[in-house]
Amino acid sequence: MKKYILYILFLAFVISFASCRKKTENKLVGKWELAWLEKNENPEIKKIWTITDGSAIIETNTGDDGSITEEKGYYFVEKNGFDVFYINIYELFNKTSLTYNGKYRIIELNDEILAIQQVFDTHGNYAFRRLEFTRIE
CATH topology of domain 2-135: Lipocalin (2.40.128)
Q: Which pTM value belongs to this model? A: 0.75
Instruction: Look at phi and psi of residue 118 and say left if phi exceeds 0, alpha if psi is from -120 to 50, else beta.
Output: beta
pLDDT on residue 26: 85
Q: Where are the domains of the chain?
A: 2-135
* Type of residue found at 90: Y
- Single-letter amino acid code for the residue at 45: I
pLDDT tens string 32-87: 999 877 666 666 788 899 999 989 999 998 988 888 989 999 999 998 877 889 99
**Alpha-carbon 85 to chain mean position:** 10
Cα distance between residue 129 and residue 32, in whole Å: 17
For β-strands 30-35 and 46-51, DSSP reports them as antiparallel
- One-letter amino acid at 30 equals G
